[in-house]
Amino acid sequence: MTMNANGIVAEIRKGIAAGEYAYGARLPSVRDLATQFGVSQQTAAAAYAVLTALGLTRTAPGSGTTVAAGPSADAYLGTFAPPDLTQGEAWTPSTGEATEETYLVRQSVAPTEWTDWGFTEGADVVERHRVRRVDGIPVQHKLTVLPYDVASRRPEGHEGVPPMLAPVGAPPLKPPAGMRVADWLGWNVARTRAQITAEPMAPAAAEALGMAEGSPGFRVVNISQTADGATLYVTVTTAPLHHRVTMQILG
């Protein structure tokens, strides 16, 4: 596969996040970067332009390109009391007609990178992929990942396929008004931890949004856990950088 500018950005960003490129370190020249990745100097220069736009590097005449960011770190946003669920509203854009579609439901095994979310590598999980659109244009990709035993639970009195295992195209099942899906399914969520970053999109998100693989975007990861710290489910929402990510906390 031929490397493009977005692929180079993803590789260098990964190195910065891991601390392989120290803050202030000088990166290869455009010519050397092009040789390293087997691309044209124009492609290498475009990669550096994107990294600079993301705030990860800076370029100055005579000094070349240097790293302007440190390794990945958590930005703690605070602890918030749960809102009054009767006042909660589903995702709704400020303007335009909103639609939401589940386009992929599958059972898979957790890869190594999901251990950061509390999943055991190789554990059976269920993935649910959704795309949100405004006036027909995709604006958000949402991935929900659950351990299989959590996904297979049914609400009291429900028969048939568990709601989280419902296939694509099945009529949606919703909890009673004012009740969270987690409570409806008996998941006993004690807390949710949020991680918000700007980084290259995962392949599934980029494809769903019609963008090139590795394009930068906002990534909001919500990890919901039990009181003893076990992960019940994870949602990953991805949006292009030129969009705004907003949360409203009631109460």
What single string gives the DSSP state of each residue in 76-103? -----PPP-GGG------SSS-EEEEEE
Domains in the chain and their CATH numbers?
Answer: 5-67 (1.10.10.10), 85-240 (3.40.1410.10)
| CB 188 within 8 Å of CB 195 | no
The pLDDT score that the predictor gives to residue 109 is 97
- Predicted TM-score of the model (pTM): 0.77
Q: Going residue by residue through the chain, which has 251 residues, state the pLDDT in tens, using 9 for 90 and above.
A: 568 999 999 999 889 888 899 888 999 999 999 999 999 999 999 999 999 888 788 888 888 999 988 777 766 666 655 555 555 566 677 778 888 899 999 999 999 999 999 999 999 999 999 999 888 888 889 999 999 999 999 888 888 889 999 999 988 778 887 777 888 888 888 888 888 888 888 999 989 988 877 778 889 999 999 999 999 999 999 988 877 777 776 65
- Give residue for tokens 């694509």: 168
pLDDT at res. 96: 80
Q: Which pLDDT belongs to residue 54?
A: 82
Strands (E), 2-152: 57-60, 64-67, 98-109, 124-134, 137-147
DSSP per-residue string spanning 188-245:
---EEEEEEEEEEPPHHHHHHTT--TT-EEEEEEEEEE-TTS-EEEEEEEEEETTS--
d(CA 151, CA 106): 11
Q: Give the pLDDT of residue 121.
A: 96
